[in-house]
Amino acid sequence: MWNNIYNWLDERVGFNDLYANLLDRPEPKTSWWNTLGSASMFLFVLQGLTGIFLTVYYTPSPDHAYDSVQYIMEGVAFGWLIRGIHHWGATLMVLVVFIHMLRVFFTASFKYPRELTWLIGIGLLLTTLGMGFTGYLLPWNQKAFWATTVGTQIAGTVPFIGEFTLKALRGGPDLSALTLQRFFSAHIWMIPGILAALIGVHLFLIMKHGESHWPKKDD
Amino acid sequence: MNDETKKQINEKYEREVSKGEKFWPDTIYRDLVMSLGIFLLLILLATFIGIPAEPKADPSDTSYVPRPEWYFLFLFKFLALYGQIPVLGKIEWIATALIPGVAVGILALIPFIEKNSHRYYGKRILSISIMTIMVVGIVLLTMVSEVPTVAEDGSKLIGILQTIMGIAIPLAAYILLFLMSFVFKSSTRTMIWTTVISALAMIAFTGATLALAPESTHEEAEVATTLVDQILAGQDLYSVHCAECHGDDGSVAVIQGVEGLEGEKITPINSRDVLYTITDSAMGEVIAYGRPNAGMPPFGKTYGGELTKGEMDYITIFMRYMWDDRFEAPVIPELFPPLADGEVPSYDVHLQPIVKRYCISCHRAGKENNNYLMTSYDEILKTGDNAANNIIPGDANSYLLQVIQRHEITDANGEVIIGVMPPSNALKPNIMDVFTRWIMNGMPQTAEEAAKISPPPAATPAP
Ligand code: HEM
């Protein structure tokens, strides 16, 4: 029976092609340093999953955000674990992405033919930091509130567009319910969307060119 | 890059691939181990370190020192250091927009700046040196992010040390490295040494900064998370700030013993009149603005008081659950563990919570109290106009014991030295008992000291 199902699916999906194209690829000898890219991706997926759980209870309004987070920590079964993983996962993701970038830099893996992979990577680094910045405000506690006040203020000092950026980020002259709403929307929809798309392109390019080999004396 | 080089690169890569491994299972095995390791690490972090509790956002509390997520700390520090530079330091946007913008721009364009095809580290020592110094700088700036740039005594030395580490040395090293690379054509070895020495110098200056840094005064704010904790926090705050006028149970109708308000008639705030007509948010406002015309001072930070939004919320919660008959109070743990027969109370376990709730509102700096302060063990024993007689070990006539029973103290000539102490309702007998036993047994501070002089618990009588 299982065989029949497998054959039926294989005819339509083509597992063998998938296997040959995705998994059975030859690669140059790689090292533990090459695991950092996939570790970044794993963290992104994990952040997505835990984040989805958090939105079940989280309320993005100044009156309720703090209490809803408090409730996740105290009232929801394993809420502390989910939030804990999301919290530390954010920290670790920034760290891992950064070290991944350093590894790519030090092994000069960004050179021909992987220049575009690097450029997309910079986009990934910036969006990852953007996730950190927007997520930091959501618990609506003192730290969040004041860090964001100062952070957006810094954006406001840019010549010409500063004024506008500040207002666009805050949704007005001061931090308010609108700011929280904006940051929430950016944190759960816009930035992850961009991040996911960029990761897609990043991976496509990596499959296309293969992973670079560790540089030797004659490289 | 010409087609010839490209072809060479691709051929070299093909050779490496043919000597290499398979994505499945070789590469992916390591990826999976790494991800699993990270996952376990996260669970450990979430379980054993968790997330520190923070008080709720309070837009009025502008005294709060903002601290960004740790990976932005180096940028904050860089901005602070940049501000130290004379003249240029005044043009803010150079540091906030131009420098980070250029840095990200360069980072993005690296493949187009370093266009040659060399990948071996010895052949690209300039870029590796620049990046190394950059990364060392970021790590060190993060490490000193808590250290101020101006010491408490106004000395700028600590700021100068940091500026040398964070700006001067890297800048000098970059200039030197460029000169070595393009003008002097120095060897790889010299350039590596230059980088290492610059990095060590930066580390040395960081060490000096940290050694000179004042003790971190950053204290974690206490955050009450459960309802019971919030009620208790509210009760403590109420006792300190409100009890002197409204009494510890809110029942005061005529204020006594408060300068300027003596004999003032007020509505008891534990009455339905007050609790039913004032909503939670209006209550927050009453506390924040006070009733300046009637004599109640403002308590909110915005209006010059001491309380944050969160603290005022706790007071409101306390008033609701304890006095408002529409709310059902949860079980509140006792203020102090009840004493067994003959057991001696200690300061840490019994006296401190009692004093905090019933005495500190008046007996702290800036209040009328015969200079008797009660905020610590030492103060309780040593301060006061009548310190010598207030607490005499083993003496039931210690002034304190008389004062709390609302006796007046007179000297040999019949002159009043301590008047009747204001709180209009007498302390509960069990609290009076704690004070008495404590003084009669020599005022032990810790629970161990008290246990030593307590009689052993009576043996259970044989059946
Ligand atoms: C969310 C962030 C990121 C994810 C999920 C990601 C994912 C990956 C993965 C799975 C690989 C292949 C495995 C490896 O070599 O580690 C890879 C390689 C690569 N990444 Fe990333 N990456 C991210 C960020 C970055 C950044 C910030 C850069 C640089 C600016 C970058 C540049 C590259 C380059 C050039 C390669 C090819 C390396 C080679 O072929 O040896 N990536 N990335």
What does chain A come to in residues?
Answer: 219
Q: What is the pLDDT of residue B38?
A: 97
Q: What is the pLDDT of residue A186?
A: 97
The amino acid occupying position B334 is E
Contacts of B102 in chain A (CB under 8 A): none
Q: What is the pLDDT of residue B292?
A: 84
Pair B117, B186 in one domain: yes
Interface of B with A in 203-242 (CB under 8 A): 221, 225-226
Other Cβ atoms within 10 Å of B463 Cβ, number? 3
Position B418 in a domain: yes
Terminal-residue alpha carbon distance, chain B: 100
Classify residue A61 by its DSSP letter.
S
Low-confidence ranges of chain B (pLDDT < 50): 219, 460-463
Burial class (CB in 10 A: 0-12, 13-18, 19+), A19: exposed
Beta bridge partners of B307: B300
Interface of B with A in 103-132 (CB under 8 A): 104, 107-108, 110-112, 114, 117-122, 124, 127-128, 131
The amino acid occupying position A161 is I
Q: Using a CB–CB cutoff of 8 Å, tell me whether B23 touches chain A.
A: yes
Q: How far is A194 from chain B (nearest CA, A)?
A: 18
Contact (CB<8Å) B54/A149? no
By Cβ distance, the residue of A46, A91, A107 closest to B119 is A107
Contact partners, residue B303, CB within 8 Å, separation at least 6: B288, B289, B290
The answer to whether the beta carbons of residues A146 and B64 sit under 8 Å apart is yes
pLDDT in tens, A61-117: 998 999 899 999 988 999 999 999 999 999 999 999 999 999 999 999 999 899 999
Pair B290, B361 in one domain: no
Pair B316, B381 in one domain: no
Pair B177, B245 in one domain: no
Residue found under tokens 């510890």: B248
The atom number, within ligand 1, closest to the CA of A36 reads 16
Q: What is the pLDDT of residue B231?
A: 87
CA distance A201 to A118: 11
Position B218 in a domain: no
By Cβ distance, the residue of B54, B79, B97 closest to A142 is B54
Q: What is the pLDDT of residue B463?
A: 46
Interface of B with A in 30-69 (CB under 8 A): 30-31, 33-35, 38-39, 41-43, 45-47, 49-51, 54-59, 61, 64-69
Contact (CB<8Å) B119/A34? no
3 state DSSP class of B406: coil
Q: Does the bond joining B337 to the residue before it have cis omega, within 30 degrees of 0?
A: no
Pair B186, B132 in one domain: yes
Q: How far is B401 from chain A (nearest CA, A)?
A: 44
Structure tokens at B154: 């106004």
Pair B88, B115 in one domain: yes
Among A109, A206, A208, A209, the mutation site with the greatest number of ligand 1 atoms within 8 A of its Cβ is: A206
Pair B185, B262 in one domain: no
Residue closest to B142 by CA, chosen among B190, B94, B187, B76: B76
CA distance B149 to B326: 53
Contact partners, residue B229, CB within 8 Å, separation at least 6: none
Backbone angles phi, psi at B21, to 5 degrees: -130, 180
Interface of B with A in 126-185 (CB under 8 A): 127-128, 131, 135
> What is the extent of the structural domain holding B419?
347-453
pLDDT in tens, B254-274: 888 777 888 888 889 998 888
Residue ranges of the alpha helices (H) in B69-187? 73-82, 92-93, 99-113, 125-143, 157-163, 169-179
3 state DSSP class of B130: helix
Position B446 in a domain: yes
* For helices A162-170 and A177-185, angle between their N-to-C axes, nearest 10 degrees: 90
Query: Which CATH number is B297's domain given?
Result: 1.10.760.10
Number of domains in chain B: 3
Q: What is the pLDDT of residue B102?
A: 94
Terminal-residue alpha carbon distance, chain A: 54
Contact (CB<8Å) A158/B61? no
Q: Which of B169, B189, B212 is the last residue of a domain?
A: B212
CA distance B131 to B348: 55
pLDDT in tens, A18-76: 777 777 888 898 899 999 999 999 999 999 999 999 999 999 999 899 989 999 998 89
Q: What is the pLDDT of residue A79?
A: 94
Ligand 1 environment, Cβ below 6 A: A 34, 36-38, 40-41, 44, 97, 100-101, 104, 109-110, 114, 117-118, 121-122, 124-125, 128, 199, 202, 206, 211-212
Q: Which of B177, B212, B247 is the last residue of a domain?
A: B212
**Protein residue whose Cα sits closest to atom 24 of ligand 1:** A121
Pair B204, B236 in one domain: no
Ligand 1 centroid to B385 CA: how many Å?
Answer: 73
CA distance B188 to B172: 18
In A180-211, which positions are buried (b, 16+ CB within 10 angstroms) versus exposed (e)?
bebbbebbbeebbebbeebbeebeebbeebbb
Beta bridge partners of B291: B296
Contacts of A129 in chain B (CB under 8 A): 71-72
E strands, A48-146, where?
A: none
Contacts of A154 in chain B (CB under 8 A): 79, 96
pLDDT in tens, B378-396: 888 888 888 888 888 888 8
Position B319 in a domain: yes
Position B42 in a domain: no
Contact (CB<8Å) B22/A25? yes
**Protein residue whose Cα sits closest to atom 40 of ligand 1:** A211
Ligand 1 centroid to A213 CA: how many Å?
Answer: 14
Burial class (CB in 10 A: 0-12, 13-18, 19+), B221: middle
A interface test, pick of B110, B113, B121, B220 with most A CB neighbours within 10 Å? B110
Q: Which DSSP string corresponds to B252-281?
A: -SB--S-TTTTT-B---TTSHHHHHHS-HH
Pair B310, B245 in one domain: yes
What CATH number is given for A33-209 in this structure?
1.20.810.10
CA distance B321 to B327: 5
Q: What is the pLDDT of residue A44?
A: 97
Dihedral angle over CA of B450, B454, B459, B460, nearest 10: -70
Instruction: Give the DSSP H or E segment for B39.
Output: helix B28-44
CA distance A205 to A201: 6
Contacts of A32 in chain B (CB under 8 A): 30, 34
Q: What is the pLDDT of residue A52?
A: 96
Pair B93, B207 in one domain: yes
CA distance B41 to A92: 10
CB pairs under 8 A between A and B: 225
Position B435 in a domain: yes
Pair B103, B206 in one domain: yes
Position B152 in a domain: yes
* ipTM confidence score: 0.93
CA distance A89 to A93: 6
Pair B77, B123 in one domain: yes
Structure tokens at A94: 């920034």
B interface test, pick of A91, A97, A115, A143 with most B CB neighbours within 10 Å? A143
Ligand 1 centroid to A216 CA: how many Å?
Answer: 20
